[in-house]
Structure 1
Amino acid sequence: MDLNALKHKLHTQIPLTKFMQIDVKNIEDNCLITTAPLKPNINDKLTGFAGSLSTLVTISAWSACYLNVIKLGFKEDCMIAVIKSDTAYRAPVTKELYCKTILPSKEQLQTLKRKLQEKKSASIRIKSQLLQDDKVCVDFEGIYVIKI
C-alpha cells in the first residue's frame, strides 16, 4: 500500500484525521513521517491542542502497524487497536505538527508475523514523537493489538 492510499483510508474511515488535515508524508530513516497544520489543531493559547497532538501520535503509530501488517502479507481488513498508551507533553507546539514514528525492527516484525500466523493475534509496541526544531514536544508509546 502506498502512503497516499493510507492517507485516503484515514481520511475516509476516521473523519477526525481529515478535519485535522493529517498528511502521511513519507518514510525516512526507518520512520514514518506524518504532519498536520497548526491552524485546525490550535488551542486558546495558540499552541497545539493536546487532543490533536495525542491523536496525531496515536494514529501515526497505528499507521505504522497497519503498513507493516500489509507488508507482511496479511489482509487490509485486520483489526488493529491501541490497548495501552503513554503520552508525555514536554513542550508546546507552535508550528506545524511534525511526527516521527519509529517503524518496527526486522526482529519485531518476524515475531509479529509468527504470532499472527500461530495465534491470529499479536501485540506490538510503537513509539512516536512530535518534534519542533529538533526538540521533542510530545513522547508517545503505544501497545497495539492486531487480530487477523
Structure 2
Amino acid sequence: MDLEALKYKLHSQIPLTKFMQIDIEKVENNYLITTAPIEPNINDKQTGFAGSLSTLVTISAWSACYLSVVDLGFNKDCMIAVIKSDTAYRTPVTKELYCKTLLPSKEQLQTLKRKLKDKKSASIRIKSQLLQDGKVCVDFEGVYVIKL
C-alpha cells in the first residue's frame, strides 16, 4: 500500500483535503489511520467543525476503497464514489482529528474482485470512526460504488 501516493492524490485532486491538512498515517491491525490537526478544522465553539469531521470520515472510507482496488490489481484511475452514508456525531472533538477506518475483510475483497471482474462495477460498505481519548466522537458508515 502506497500511502504517500494516496496522500498526494488526495491533496492534488481534492484541494479541500490539503487545506484540512489530512494525513494518511498508516495501516495498523486492518485499520487505515488518518489524521488532521484541529486548527484548520475548527468551528466557532473551538471544537471540530462538523463539515471537517464529515469530510475526514468520508474521505478515509473512500481511501480504504481506493487502496483495496489498487491492491486487487485494478486501475487506480477507476471511479469511486460514496452513494449513501450515515454519520452520527456523538461528542465534540477538541484535539487532533484521529480517524480509524476498517479495511475490507478477505471475504469482502473476494466479492469485490469477482464483481469488478464480471460486471466492471461493485459496491462495498465501509465504516470509519473519529476517536478522541479512546471515545467515539463520530460514527460513519458509507456505501461506495466502484466502476472500472
TM-score when scaled to structure 1?
0.99
The one-letter amino acid of 2:32's match is L
Partner of 2:66: 66
Partner of 2:49: 49
**Structure 1 residues without counterparts, runs of 5 or longer:** none
How far has the Cα of 1:86 moved from its partner? Answer: 0.1
Aligned residue for 2:66, secondary structure, equals: helix
Aligned residue for 2:137, secondary structure, equals: strand
The one-letter amino acid of 2:81's match is A
Superposed, 1:1-148 pairs within 5 Å as: 1-148=1-148
How far has the Cα of 1:47 moved from its partner? Answer: 0.1
Q: Counterparts of 1:128 and 1:76 in 2: how far apart (Å)?
A: 22
How far has the Cα of 1:44 moved from its partner? Answer: 0.2
Query: What percentage of residue pairs aligned between the two structures are identical?
Result: 84
Q: Counterparts of 1:74 and 1:4 in 2: how far apart (Å)?
A: 19
Q: How many residues align?
A: 148
Q: Counterparts of 1:39 and 1:54 in 2: how far apart (Å)?
A: 16
Aligned residue for 2:43, secondary structure, equals: coil
How far has the Cα of 1:10 moved from its partner? Answer: 0.2
Q: Counterparts of 2:18 and 2:92 in 1: how far apart (Å)?
A: 23
Q: Counterparts of 1:111 and 1:5 in 2: how far apart (Å)?
A: 26
Q: Deviations over 1:62-118 (max 9, x none)?
A: 000000000000001100000000000000000000000000000000000000000
TM-score when scaled to structure 2?
0.99
How far has the Cα of 1:145 moved from its partner? Answer: 0.1
Aligned residue for 2:100, secondary structure, equals: strand
**Structure 2 residues without counterparts, runs of 5 or longer:** none
